[in-house]
Structure 1
């Protein structure tokens, strides 16, 4: 493991049902649920999760294909079904669907040829987000109280 392997964000409550996540570079994103006043709180946590899966694999595929040709269309739709069962609330049937088009030309032909392999490589090896989900990485919850630390799992 490299010395700088940790990734982190800080999530702060900004109001009832609303939060802001800020990374170490100072970038932030607002999210939450619809507030009691009916105001939209931005993305929901599930939508951010789906965006993370799509964004991770999109970045991998874009890096591999755009060096050959600039796409004329590039989007990734990520879907899943939210269920609640004996395992608790979760998403099933996660699907990542690419829509990518390139102009005519040799470079574009090469990009089209490597597109399926790039998507497979991202899914099987490169995308940290989907690899973490598929490998079932445990999450540890720690609660910091004024009088000490309590760990929960």
Structure 2
């Protein structure tokens, strides 16, 4: 099956450009396809499919988890690596629907020994680096980047 080329639809170019395409499958449900052909199904929360808000939380946690894993695993492979991303969905007359109090919690354990000690020592710094500089997703949310919505 030929996958749609999101860059052709949006006109984006360049090595930093990223895009996904959503295709409606039924009322309130969509297949999301990336340029590599990967797909996920999203819905409204009436089934076990991820909702857009859950995907936002996933993207925030996933981006930082990858950063932290790449940094700490150079020192030792984790014996446990769990990340919880959470927040409160708020309906506001002034600001509209949005998320507040976003929090990402890392529970990462390393084996005993010098390599594990080095990884444990690096863990707080790697989390801070991801939050403050490396994670494109959380940095974008924190900076409050404007979003343009248009009709094609």
Alignment TM-score > 0.5, same fold: yes
Residue number among 57, 67, 70 corresponding to 1:63 in the alignment = 70
1: CA distance, partners of 2:149 / 2:56: 18
Q: Let me know the Cα RMSD of the aligned residues.
A: 1.2
| 1:6 aligns to 2:13 (yes or no) | no
The SS at the match of 2:112 is coil
Aligned position for 1:106: 114
How many residue pairs end up in the alignment? 139
- The answer as to 2:80 corresponding to 1:73 is yes
Give the deviation of 1:67 after TM superposition.
1.1
Aligned to 2:99: 91
Superposition deviation, residue 142 in structure 1: 1.1
- Larger RCO (CA under 8 A, 6+ residues apart): 2
| In structure 2, C-alpha distance between the alignment counterparts of 1:3 and 1:107, rounded to whole Å | 39
After the TM superposition, which parts of structure 1 deviate over 6 Å for at least 4 consecutive aligned residues?
none
Gapped regions of structure 2 (runs ≥ 5): 1-12
Alpha-carbon distance between aligned partners in 1 of 2:14 and 2:26, rounded to the nearest angstrom: 36
C-alpha displacement at 1:34, in angstroms? 4.1
Contact 1:20 1:29 in 2 (8 A): yes
1:18 and 2:25 correspond: no
What TM-score, normalized to structure 1?
0.88
1:95-141 per-position Cα deviation (integer Å, ceiling 9, x unaligned): 00000001111111000000000000000000000000010000000
Unaligned runs of at least 5 residues, structure 1:
145-153
Helix, strand or coil at the partner of 2:150? strand
